[in-house]
Structure 1
């Protein structure tokens, strides 16, 4: 009686190829993912830590120091089950397709063509792609892009403020991943108070993929505080600034920034509420932040469809699900929130 050979994991395939590789989470923000952790995820030992739209979004950088023509980048989107674990059948199907294509292509080399016609492949947006390339250059010891120098000159004040149109997204991404360089961090913090709004929005959005140093954090928060009272402020700018503050390490400071935004009229704008929902999930674990967030979500301009879509994503995260269910039963909730809950889950639930 023959027994079938167990399907190798994606990590095993990468290790056996003999190339260096690095994994990145590409979901809510771009961040490094350890191979050991991912192997545990693959074997359904732990749920995926940062699900986004009920999937794990993975970037895989593969490089051969001596055979650069074999370098490859894969972007993989894997479905998760209701408890946040990788769907094993999908993972097996992905590995099978990769192996088949790699063998067909060139004696097992893990090249980019291995993802040809693969249903699990995806293309990140421009901003995430720029950050990924900046991090990939660091990981492989490559130089920053040719746009980095202009970005540096701009934040150093060597180019006038109106020359923001000279800035390339890739150059700003190269800058943001180098904020551990104290001179770069200090220059950016000095420049943030006076940046033209389009440049501020671009830099703030990229900052969600870094951990902004204190001086940069404070400069962003001060800009946000100045902009919030004005009804003329573009909601996309408010969303960008809250994203820029979303990865700071001081949770109390972050909760206060989120509360400031939620207590402003801008919180009714779909772009703003989605930025908080998708990037500030740790801040939402504070009950006083969560309740006002749910109230603004229910009253928001995105209507019932927006409420249900955002809640479905948040309730997929185990840490938030129980907190949201508890908040739903708060006797102080408004009629608008009760109505939105009733439309999503049924009136009998809303009446609890």
Structure 2
């Protein structure tokens, strides 16, 4: 057993600690799970791009002005376990800060493993943190509520603050928020719709909102001129919905559409809906779309390298690779990715 654990240093004295996975979507990691990850008892459960993307929220209930937020991107080995050298480096930096508190260096920010989430994800993390800490939403929240309740002209969407949109999404269970969004979803300007849809992956849309998203995505699929970015955003909004079978039905419709060949769409499907791809027939259709699609060979290799890092997906993908009914384009893409290292002969 190692002498000092990162989790012990982070929740010392009166601190409260909450840990989030920040890779594919923002989701809570229990402190016990993180402790087992840290001591290499278990692999990291939600790797993304072969790394562990972690958000840390640290607060003291008696000192509200001392809340801290940090983001760490930690490397994983080939089996998905935390690279101990990286963990040890951060522990040593924290210990040095304890020994030399006058230093200006912030051990969790000024290190090679820190990262900054994109603005949408950062806004959602702050919105989630404010709920956790029971602090008020941002000053932009009320204006978003009023806009989605129809109290502003449509063109006013350009004045809405990103943090207000994130606060709204993270408070869908409050007041009439879900109902207002369901009623107005199909009428929203596309840029606003895409932002809200992407943010929805960080919460769990209920049955009403899932139905509204599904109907809108199905409707937009019927129009080949629909922007791939919009389909990808709606898919991300559906990815964490409560009814997985309903989500899978929409994905099956998508895989029958020419839009499934678009790079943005196939990437959203791979990175946000991988549990849907655990069904063998759906996985085969996905692989055919990926091989024939606009992501090209580089996209094919990158997307599958990420998917195959997930323990639940690797064996299924290798099995699909060896399917004698696979297309010639899929065979060529597999060959270009693996060369002679993988036997895919019929």
- With the length of structure 1 as denominator, give the TM-score of the two structures: 0.94
With over 3 angstroms needed to count, the CA separation of the structure-2 counterparts of 1:46 and 1:193, relative to structure 1, is: same
Give 1:282 deviation, angstroms.
0.5
Q: Deviations over 1:42-101 (max 9, x none)?
A: 111111111000111111011123334432111001111111111122111111112223
Q: Is the 8 A contact 1:270 1:302 kept in 2?
A: yes
* 1:350 partnered with 2:344: yes
Is the contact made by 2:50 and 2:306 (CA closer than 8 Å) also made in structure 1?
A: yes
1:41, CA displacement in angstroms? 1.1
User: Aligned pair 1:136/2:133, yes or no?
Assistant: no
Distance 2:100 2:259 in 1: 53
TM-superposed CA distance for 1:280, in Å, is 0.2
Aligned-pair CA distance for 1:182: 5.7
Q: d(CA) in 1 for partners of 2:65 and 2:174?
A: 31
- What do residues 94-132 of structure 1 show as CA deviations (whole Å, max 9, x unaligned)? 11112223443359xxx9923243011011101110110
CA contact (8 A) 2:206 2:242 kept: no
Aligned to 1:43: 39
In structure 2, C-alpha distance between the alignment counterparts of 1:227 and 1:239, rounded to whole Å: 11
- 1:94 pairs with 2:90: yes
Matches within 5 A, 1:49-64: 49-64=45-60
Q: Structure 1 stretch 6-15 or stretch 55-64: which is displaced more?
A: 6-15
Q: How many residues align?
A: 345
Which of 231, 238, 244 is equivalent to 1:238?
231
Q: Equivalents in 1 of 2:95, 2:135: separation in Å?
A: 28
Matched-pair contact (CA < 8 Å) for 1:53–1:313: yes
Indicate yes or no: 2:157 matched with 1:161. Answer: no
Runs of at least 5 residues in structure 2 that lack an aligned partner in the other structure: none
1:177 aligns with 2:182: no
Residue of structure 1 equivalent to 2:291: 298
Question: For the residues of structure 1 that align with 2:128 and 2:310, how far apart are their CA atoms?
Answer: 27
C-alpha distance in structure 1 between counterparts of 2:43 and 2:116, whole Å: 24
Q: What RMSD in Å do the two structures reach over aligned CA positions?
A: 1.8
Determine the structure 2 residue equivalent to 1:66: 62
Distance of 2:166 and 2:251 partners within structure 1: 24
2:74 alignment partner in structure 1: 78
Q: Alpha-carbon deviation of 1:158?
A: 1.3
Q: Deviations over 1:236-255 (max 9, x none)?
A: 11110000000012221111
Moved more, 323-332 or 274-283: 323-332
Aligned ranges for residues 1-352 of structure 1 at < 5 Å?
Answer: 6-106=2-102, 113-181=106-174, 183-347=176-340, 349-352=343-346
Gaps of 5+ in 1: none
Q: Indicate the SS of the match to 1:56.
A: strand
In the alignment, is the contact (CA less than 8 A) between 2:70 and 2:109 conserved in 1?
A: no
1:300 to partner: Cα distance = 1.2
TM-score normalised to the size of structure 2? 0.95
Q: Aligned partners of 1:273, 1:105: CA distance in 2, in Å?
A: 48
